[in-house]
Amino acid sequence: MPRLDELVTFCKVVEMRSFSRAADFLGLTQPAISLQIKELEKEYGVELLHRSGYETLPTEHGKTVYEAACQIINLYERSREQVRSAGQSLTGELMVGGSSGPGEFVLPLLLSKFKKRYQEVDISLIVGSSVDIIDQVLSQRIELGLVGMSRRDRHLQFETFVKDELVLIAPAEDEWRDHAPITIDEFLQLPIVLQQQGSGATALLQSALREHDISLNNLNIIAYLGLQESTKTAVRVGGGLTIISRLGVLEELKHGNFVEVPIEHLKMYRDIYFVYRRTLPLTNLVSTFIDFAHQHRSDLTDHEISA
């Protein structure tokens, strides 16, 4: 069975694309690094790394091992941090990033409940597009994000939190109350305001339309208006309709501030993900918040939400 230090060494070689750079980072000699990789390849019975020019890259088998190794290391570090912190009071600053849907409803609700439980913790919330929040996690400006899209990146872990649906909302006017479902062709004629490029909502809409051989250019787009709150304001004042996270408008729909207009044959479901670095141990504070959030998912809505 592979040893943990061999997995750590392997991951670092993959990430730094170099035996020598990994050796410097880990404080080991290059022969020691090479020996650990050989032992790991012997355990798996296949080549895991190969040289390409001046870089060392994972083979296809190596990519598979890397994905699993990152999760093993992260779970180990997370459990060690939890054991070390057991019995200690929870303090410090919890800084979380959220894309506009999760960041304007889901996270404020969860963070408020978390603050009531752990009053010594300072709370900070940063809201941006999904792409922006993911980039901030990748660059280690924040430790944790909650976003409406994922992407392939060996440095990042995307952990599914809840399911969400994008819906078309209209102003609460007689014209739209109890409106029958519209066709996709009718949808294409409506004045639409969208969130900016890079938002999870716009990306999912684009993907859903593509399945019907339709591009965003086929829509009657009035404007791209930043993030979720901007588009909600536009709808509220009669500036158009918008595609938006159902989680982000639960309260408005419940109180009749907006009307949902179903679109036939255009269903847009997505996962909402926690995103964090794979190979960096989560702090006890962040780990506790993630566990707390999973325990309180049912508080987000009167309807059942499950991962």
Ordered by start, the domain boundaries in the chain are 4-85, 92-162+271-300, 163-268
Same fold for the pair 92-162+271-300 and 163-268: yes
Q: What is the mean pLDDT of residues 124-131?
A: 90
Average pLDDT over the chain, rounded to an integer: 87
Q: What is the 3-state composition of the chain as percent helix, strand, coil, each rounded to the nearest 5?
A: 45, 25, 30
Dist CA 148 CA 243 (whole Å): 14
pLDDT in tens, 221-261: 999 987 788 899 999 998 999 999 888 888 888 888 999 99
**Non-local CB neighbours of 200 within 8 Å, separated by 6+ positions:** 99, 101, 129, 130, 147, 148, 149, 270
CATH fold label, 92-162+271-300: D-Maltodextrin-Binding Protein; domain 2 (3.40.190)
Q: Is the model's pLDDT at 86 over the cut of 60?
A: no
- pLDDT for the residue numbered 83: 66
- pLDDT for the residue numbered 206: 92
- pLDDT for the residue numbered 113: 94
What does the block give as tokens for 164? Answer: 């969400």
Element housing 147 (H / E): strand 144-147
Question: For 19, left (φ over 0), alpha (ψ -120 to 50), or beta?
Answer: alpha
Question: For 56, left (φ over 0), alpha (ψ -120 to 50), or beta?
Answer: beta
Q: pLDDT: is 82 or 305 the higher one?
A: 82
Q: Which residues of 79-108 are buried (b: 16+ CB within 10 A; e: fewer)?
A: eebeeeeeeeebeeebbbbbbbbbbbbbbe
Dist CA 131 CA 136 (whole Å): 9
- pLDDT for the residue numbered 307: 37
Q: What is the pTM of this model?
A: 0.63
Q: Please state which architecture CATH assigns to domain 163-268.
A: 3-Layer(aba) Sandwich (3.40)
**Non-local CB neighbours of 47 within 8 Å, separated by 6+ positions:** 41, 59, 61, 62
CB 178 within 8 A of CB 130: no
What does the block give as tokens for 107? Answer: 């996270």
Taking the alpha carbons at both ends of the chain, their separation in whole angstroms is 32
The hierarchical CATH code for the domain 4-85 is: 1.10.10.10
CA dist 165 to 148, 247, 260, 266, Å?
A: 10, 8, 12, 11
pLDDT in tens, 158-194: 999 998 899 999 998 878 888 889 999 999 999 999 9
Dihedral over alpha carbons 202, 207, 209, 213 (to 10 degrees): 140
